[in-house]
Amino acid sequence: MDKFIIEGGRRLEGRVDIKGAKNSALPILASTLLVEDEFRIENIPMVRDIVTMKKVLETLGVLVSFNGNSVYIDTRGAVGYEAPYELVKQMRASYYVLGPLLSRLGRARVSLPGGCAIGSRPVDLHIKGMRSLGAQVSVVHGYIEVCADSLRGSHVLLEGANGPSVGATINTMMASLRARGVTIIEGAAMEPEVVDVANFLKRCGANIQGEGTRRIEIRGVQKLSGCKYRIIPDRIEAGTFAVAAAITKGDIYLSNVECDCIESILTKLKETGVIISKDKRGLRIRMDGNIMPTDIETAPYPGFPTDMQAQFTSLLALSNGVSIVKDAIFEERFMHVPELVRMGANLHQESDYVIIKGVPYLSGAQVMASDLRASAALVLAGLAAQGTTEISRIYHIDRGYESIEERFQSLGAEIWRLKE
């Protein structure tokens, strides 16, 4: 099991290219199962989750071939209908094959998902979406089994107790593409990744309207085809590198960024004192003074993303004042808090919020990553800390960031990977 060693206190400077959005790429790769054809998808991030999805598709009989950050996919011929536990347990997004397999084969058997240890993330809304289209759904021995002789359009509300579900919105949208009539998804997730998947499906011939709003309308079609498509940039990766500039009092230019997608992140960065300059190709993030406190509450898009909460907690731990960060979207989303406390942060957790009293400095320590974004938060803290930080269980960060240590090295960081 690998670990990171970080010698902190280095000011980061330079340029970094933001990779493609993992949370778009995964469902788009899964959605190729809808069609018997060939695809070329570009700007794929080479992260561990993508490798897992490749294995899932290959297990189902799909030909997948990578060339750099592009992938060629051939879904012609027979495909299987079962995604096994051995693969799905590694990554929650494996369940994205559920909707495409139901649409293409009329049946699917997918293991209940795994992924990050950030509390209960039920699949009830996915099941609700499939049932609304006329599918029979059962959970048997840890597998979701769905089947339908034919699918029919319907009207379904997919908003849960904690807001819209990105996964359920995408899965239902994919399953409904060939359904007879019109499907209307109310309470749909508005995230840019949902829009990206919809744009890909429309390139394949789907009839979708309203993506990016709370109401998506899908009119069933008879024919879909393969296509060439380019994934949007990863807004969470952009936010993570922006926080890296802020927490190290650095100056980083982020290229390949869609600024409109990260407006809530940029707003909070400005409140902490970051200087932001935008141009057509990206944006420059610079921090010259003290880190100022601010309060954050996560919310579904276009609100502040839960996937950036941990990184901002690290940043605000070094602020000149008191901040409150609230995150009620997922349970156990603050597993990075005790690790940051080991580094000298003054954090006090109460239920779904953390009170942060800024300290002058953090100290390097041995810490352990618990999930993908917590890993990023610990790396950021280590980059800013005095002394040496050792982060174990970094396989979590490999799930979502491509060669992150090499890219930080290019900005002047002293970070390296050790094999254990």
Task: Quick: pLDDT tens for 18-43.
Answer: 999 999 999 999 999 999 999 999 99
Closest CA to 35 of 163, 200, 194: 200
pLDDT digits (tens, 9 = 90+) for 286-295: 999 999 999 9
Closest CA to 134 of 76, 185, 68, 179: 179
pTM greater than 0.85: yes
Instruction: Give all domains of the chain, ordered by start, each with its CATH number.
Output: 3-19+233-418 (3.65.10.10), 22-230 (3.65.10.10)
Average pLDDT over the chain, rounded to an integer: 94
Dihedrals phi, psi of 279, to nearest 5 degrees: -145, -170
Alpha-carbon distances, residue 147 vs 105, 122, 393 (angstroms): 9, 20, 39
> Given this model, what pLDDT does residue 373 score?
92
The single residue of 116, 204, 259, 261 carrying the catalytic annotation is 116
pLDDT band per the 50, 70, 90 thresholds, residue 116: very low
Q: Which residues, including other chains, have CB under 8 Å from residue 193's CB and lie 6 or more apart?
A: 21, 23, 24, 27, 166, 170, 232
Q: How far apart are CA 404 and CA 386, in angstroms?
A: 21
Alpha-carbon distances, residue 249 vs 17, 106, 161, 188, 245 (angstroms): 20, 55, 39, 39, 6
pLDDT band per the 50, 70, 90 thresholds, residue 114: low
| Known catalytic membership, residue 204 | no
pLDDT at 165 over 60: yes
> Given this model, what pLDDT does residue 122 score?
66
> Given this model, what pLDDT does residue 16 score?
98
Q: In the structure encoding, which two tokens stand for residue 131, read together? A: 């049932």
For residues 401 and 376, is the Cβ–Cβ distance under 8 A?
yes
pLDDT digits (tens, 9 = 90+) for 202-259: 999 999 999 999 999 999 999 999 999 999 999 999 999 999 999 999 999 999 999 9
Alpha-carbon distances, residue 70 vs 143, 264, 274, 357 (angstroms): 32, 30, 34, 44
